[in-house]
Structure 1
Amino acid sequence: MQNPKHDAAIEALRNLLGERLSTGSSIREIHGRDEAYTPPSLPDAVAFPNSTAEVSQIAKVCAQHGCPMVPFGIGTSLEGHVVPIHGGVSIDTSRMNQVLEIRDQDLNAVVQPGVTRKQLNTELRASGLMFTVDPGADATIGGMAATRASGTNAVRYGTMRENVLALEVVLPDGEIIRTGSQARKSSAGYDLTHLFVGSEGTLGIITQLTVRLFGQPEVIRAATCAFDTVDDAVETVILAIQTGIPLARVELLDEMQMRGMNLYNTQIDFLEKTHLFLEFHGTDADTTEQVEMFKAISDDYGASAFQWAEKAEDRTALWQARHDAYYAAKALRPGSEGFITDCCVPISKLAECITRTKVEIIRSGLIAPLLGHVGDGNFHLVILIEPGNIAELEAANQLSEAINLLALELGGTVTGEHGVGLGKIKYMHAEHGGAYGLMGRIKHSIDPQNLMNPGKLVNLT
């Protein structure tokens, strides 16, 4: 039953937004789920603001009536972040999708939150610059900041944490604040920018971002190679990083994932062994040297089946195959659904973590291909389960929990890039201890009514 306070807020918002406030069932259903294996929960209404001023007005109305607010980008999150479990208003920022300024000399751009990463890079093409954070999905940059996204380029260029310089944020009471500056560094007070990066919509609504850009490399070389064991692949990467090779991307895919890729895309034919997907950026001389150094190291660990992709179309096909990994995994069990989880450990513990994870997969009785950003110790499982099979869903949850606890045991984190949302909140105290209580106090001081995405990341109930 809808809360009467929500009704009052919705009526006031209808007067403010007109047709840009929707209570239609189809729109609400879209905003009641993300890509996670999380039960849907519908908002009472969906607001489509056009500006920061409108977001501020929406927040003021919701604060006045005690109505929850859930920021929504494009819905590609993987831990139930945008599922409005307490109803309220989903605030969809997709109409705020303008690239406001590109500052070539300062290597940054100012964008609205609804701009997607591909959209930004299309606009940057003529400038010779690029935005490097690539989580795979064409997510909105506001959502990527909110979840502290990373992806395949993080080993060289960093995550959203390193690539957001400044923010404009609407607080739960409607106040508009700005954090950070165009400067690359500052010692002026608390780092509020990075308080909001990764806050998952629990502290405020991001309405503008200044993001870091990089020059497009003169030469890009990509390759794949196979290994007999995960240990050999991981040790190769560790030594390459210790040697100082500036790997732009280095992805690990296990033998099960490679089997799925062959099934999904008949245009490719990989050995069904553990693989590394690699990319090198720089000048012609730089990348030639990087490739030679990496090849020498990998040879010592028994690498085979090297395939090089230097043409743009070949590189695109290679990385598209990597980005299609979820669908390739599902090809291993047609008709299945993917329960996705991730963790991150110190790179020195990655081989052990993966080896022990594979034991847990066998114990679960489920099919769960593994892939990850081996250069920073982060990997994912796509656990395949039959739709509606309660026993398999429980087994998937148990497997995910085993991996999360293993990551903590090895000095890591329960999520390297997916975020907390609903899926990982129960592990937060185990990971953070007393610091988790401090997060709750920060949340309460900024959002005392607990209206911003309540029930996510921290739990004030």
Structure 2
Amino acid sequence: MPIEQLLPELAFLGPRASQNKSVLTHHAQSETHIHTRLPDVVVFPETTEEVSRIAAACSRHGVPMTGWGAGTSLEGHALTPFGGVTIDFSRMDKVLAVFPEDMLVVVQPGITRERLNEELRATGLFFSVDPGANASLGGMAMTRASGTTAVRYGTMRDNVLGLEVVLADGSVIRTGSSAPKSSAGYDLTSLMVGSEGTLGLVTDLTIRLHGQPEAVSAASCAFPDMASAVDCVTATIQMGIPLARIEFLDAASVAACNAWSGHSLPLQPLLLVEFHGSPAGVAEQAERFGEIARDYGSTGFRWAKAQEDRTQLWKMRHQAYPAILASRPGATAMVTDVCVPISALAEAVEETQADIEASPIPGPILGHVGDGNFHAILLVQPGDAAELTVAKKLSARMAERALRLGGTVSGEHGIGMGKLGFMPAEHGAAWQVMGAIKRALDPKGLMNPGKLVPQR
């Protein structure tokens, strides 16, 4: 078997090549309902050279290879449906260089966003992309992650300037540069960002940083119904108010978060907002938003000006997923997201809510509505095939609705295995072009097989 022939070539890693059952099991689990077979071996490289040797050996023996960051992805991106080698980047977690004048940092892929910001604290700079989970930078780049701050600072697509990548045959390339822009050839950085590890394994990233804002203010505000809250978001964006974050939670999400974190927020649809800038600018932005919110029936407006209060507010939001899981004890979830033009957001959210309310399973809705992106956490009991079928149908209707409204089947979670079936409807013939690119860079189909692109 190819894996037995491969193992001697991984001996240079010593104990960092593991077939321990608990290690294999850990790398076969997902945060959602998606699970697959165990990998055959998990390796823990420490350098680009080691990743290159691993990839070259896998290529020679025809063994699949799948990258692993923090394991927080939601569509089965890092699982191994065909076994093979899982390449865990947790030991490649260093800040390699900081360039404060250029507002850039070079990091290895295994560093997490929270750890990076801790290391940047003394510089007055911060890494802006905040998907909620303490994800690794490599995984965030590969899924083109975004999150709560994307409405102001952009997604990973906007904040990755360059990459070092190991290709399927073990060769190493660099993409992009530290320059603010370039018109020199194909944009291979953008090609790799969002490729979900199907084209290469990232071994370092050049990341854009931002200055810590002089002043920050945050608030929560309740609304009488979902339509009013979403219409308030649309009006705020169209007015050009520069929000740093604007998050939506429906009443079920608020109830779950209250129970989990001990908050006492009103059990109504809720917006969480944050403003960054100068003291005068933040005050003006907050005042203008408050006027718009009141026009749409907002009640229970609560400001969180102190750092401690803001931290608690966003901690509550970031813990929404485990809070919602706990609201149905023993449940697992299908966590699905879509993104639509801001003008279609109210229609998409209201129709999704109506679908879920008519179904036999709960599905709280929340999301980064400032850029048209929202999520449904569809709660199902493990092993209940009927409930899982219902959840898949609800997810499919969300995807079909998003496409009908001019949007996309995933705003930030990515495709992985979970949404592979929706790709032809979104991309048409362009999906086959993606497959051609995959074959050109990975002719044996060994890099994260079973994900994202047409399957052979």
- TM-score by length of structure 1 reads 0.98
Q: Report the alpha carbon displacement of residue 459 of structure 1 after superposing the two structures with TM.
A: 2.7
User: Does the 8 A contact of 2:32 with 2:332 survive in 1?
Assistant: no
Query: Among residues 280, 283, 286, which one is paired with 1:285 in the alignment?
Result: 280
Match of residue 330 from structure 2 = 335
Query: What do the CA deviations read for 1:298-351 (whole angstroms, capped 9, x no partner)?
Result: 111111100010111100000000011112212332222222111111111111
Match of residue 360 from structure 2 = 365
Query: What do the CA deviations read for 1:42-61 (whole angstroms, capped 9, x no partner)?
Result: 11101111100010011111
**Within 2, Cα distance between the matches of 1:223 and 1:282?**
15
Match of residue 380 from structure 2 = 385
Matched, 1:407 2:399: no
Greater mean deviation of Cα atoms: 102-111 or 238-247: 238-247
- Give SS of 1:364's match: coil
Q: Report the alpha carbon displacement of residue 363 of structure 1 after superposing the two structures with TM.
A: 2.4
Gaps in structure 1 of 5+ consecutive residues: none
Match of residue 294 from structure 1 = 289
RMSD in angstroms over aligned alpha carbons? 0.9
Q: Report the alpha carbon displacement of residue 85 of structure 1 after superposing the two structures with TM.
A: 0.7
- Give SS of 1:35's match: coil
Match of residue 356 from structure 1 = 351
**Within 1, Cα distance between the matches of 2:447 and 2:69?**
15
Match of residue 7 from structure 1 = 4
**Within 2, Cα distance between the matches of 1:112 and 1:68?**
23
Q: Report the alpha carbon displacement of residue 396 of structure 1 after superposing the two structures with TM.
A: 1.1
Match of residue 166 from structure 1 = 162
**Within 2, Cα distance between the matches of 1:25 and 1:142?**
25
Paired letter, 2:6:
A
Matched, 1:154 2:150: yes
User: Does the 8 A contact of 1:263 with 1:331 survive in 2?
Assistant: no
Gaps in structure 2 of 5+ consecutive residues: none
Q: Report the alpha carbon displacement of residue 460 of structure 1 after superposing the two structures with TM.
A: 3.2
Task: Give the paired residue count.
Answer: 456
Paired letter, 1:444:
R
User: Does the 8 A contact of 1:450 with 1:460 survive in 2?
Assistant: no
**Within 1, Cα distance between the matches of 2:49 and 2:405?**
46
Q: Report the alpha carbon displacement of residue 36 of structure 1 after superposing the two structures with TM.
A: 2.6
Matched, 1:102 2:90: no
Match of residue 254 from structure 1 = 250
- Give SS of 2:328's match: coil
Query: What do the CA deviations read for 1:410-461 (whole angstroms, capped 9, x no partner)?
Result: 1111111000000000000000001001000000000000000011001331
- Give SS of 1:178's match: strand
Match of residue 445 from structure 2 = 450
**Within 2, Cα distance between the matches of 1:305 and 1:248?**
21
Q: Report the alpha carbon displacement of residue 366 of structure 1 after superposing the two structures with TM.
A: 0.9
Paired letter, 2:366:
L
- TM-score by length of structure 2 reads 0.99
- Give SS of 1:64's match: helix
Paired letter, 1:301:
Y
Match of residue 318 from structure 2 = 323
Q: Report the alpha carbon displacement of residue 264 of structure 1 after superposing the two structures with TM.
A: 1.8
Matched, 1:309 2:304: yes
Q: Report the alpha carbon displacement of residue 389 of structure 1 after superposing the two structures with TM.
A: 1.4
**Within 2, Cα distance between the matches of 1:177 and 1:275?**
46
Match of residue 86 from structure 2 = 90
User: Does the 8 A contact of 1:155 with 1:376 survive in 2?
Assistant: yes
Q: Report the alpha carbon displacement of residue 235 of structure 1 after superposing the two structures with TM.
A: 1.8
**Within 2, Cα distance between the matches of 1:312 and 1:140?**
25
Greater mean deviation of Cα atoms: 32-41 or 276-285: 32-41
Match of residue 118 from structure 2 = 122
User: Does the 8 A contact of 2:432 with 2:454 survive in 1?
Assistant: no
Match of residue 36 from structure 1 = 32
Matched, 1:265 2:265: no
**Within 2, Cα distance between the matches of 1:10 and 1:350?**
51
Query: Among residues 19, 30, 53, which one is paired with 1:23 in the alignment?
Result: 19
Query: What do the CA deviations read for 1:138-171 (whole angstroms, capped 9, x no partner)?
Result: 1110010001110000000000000000000000
User: Does the 8 A contact of 1:236 with 1:301 survive in 2?
Assistant: yes
User: Does the 8 A contact of 1:63 with 1:172 survive in 2?
Assistant: yes
Matched, 1:207 2:203: yes
Query: Among residues 206, 223, 236, which one is paired with 2:232 in the alignment?
Result: 236
Greater mean deviation of Cα atoms: 127-136 or 39-48: 39-48
Paired letter, 1:247:
L
- Give SS of 2:297's match: coil
Q: Report the alpha carbon displacement of residue 241 of structure 1 after superposing the two structures with TM.
A: 1.6
**Within 2, Cα distance between the matches of 1:413 and 1:36?**
21
Paired letter, 2:5:
A
User: Does the 8 A contact of 1:224 with 1:308 survive in 2?
Assistant: yes
User: Does the 8 A contact of 1:33 with 1:82 survive in 2?
Assistant: no
Query: Among residues 61, 65, 79, which one is paired with 1:65 in the alignment?
Result: 61
**Within 2, Cα distance between the matches of 1:169 and 1:361?**
42
User: Does the 8 A contact of 1:33 with 1:41 survive in 2?
Assistant: no
**Within 1, Cα distance between the matches of 2:258 and 2:134?**
24
Paired letter, 1:278:
V
